[in-house]
Amino acid sequence: MKKILITFLMLFSSLSFAIEPQVGVNFDKTVQVVPTDNKDKIEITELFWYGCIHCYQMDPMLSDWVKKLPKDIYFKRMPAIPRPDWAPMARAFYAMETLGVADKLHLAIFDAVHKDRTLNPSDEKAILQWVTLKLEDAFNSFSMNASLNKAAQVFRASGATGVPTLMIDGKYITSSTMAGGNSEALQIADFIINNVRKDRNKK
């Protein structure tokens, strides 16, 4: 018991936490265990919405954090769909992903909504025009509907109540609200990753 306590204290001090992260406060378990894409890696899923100013503000910090992740981590983005008017932007994301331009246009679509204010995140027609007519087929494809259904199911299963939310290994979630800020959310994610990694190594 003493060894465990020392290990946790060392971990917390290395993450510069003012207080010890608490389950139910700074992070929580998902409502249901969400299947991951790669069982050999620890999966991090960002649940986001292009219309969310907090997601926009966190994106540069998150992108820098992702670049430094170890090789045993798999990161992906998934649009959150807690309600119908968030679906148009989710369609835009999956359409861009289908055509392989999601990484190139990800920040640009954020800028259009929040910086330039030229795009209404709930206006499907405006989004289609912005993303260009080349995306229209992907926007309305059968695979698109399957992706939207999966995104809605994952959001419910995660237990997330807002965005940006980070889901770790399909079992834990944290967010800027839960952790107390964007950088704190990334620190909490690091904390959970370390513990998941240790559990896997024991097995």
Domain ranges (residues) in the chain: 23-202
Residue 122 structure tokens = 């709930």
Say which CATH architecture domain 23-202 belongs to. 3-Layer(aba) Sandwich (3.40)
Rounded to the nearest 10°, the torsion over CA 155, 158, 163, 168 is -130
pLDDT tens digit string along 105-128? 999 999 999 999 999 999 999 998
Listed residue (62, 69, 23) closest to 46, CA to CA: 62
User: For residue 17, what pLDDT band results from cuts at 50, 70 and 90?
Assistant: low
Measured from the Cβ of residue 149, the count of other Cβ atoms closer than 10 Å reads 11
The model's pTM: 0.79
Euclidean distance between the first and the last CA atom of the chain, given in angstroms as a whole number: 20
117: left (phi over 0), alpha (psi -120 to 50) or beta: left
| Dist. CA 1–CA 24, nearest whole Å | 23
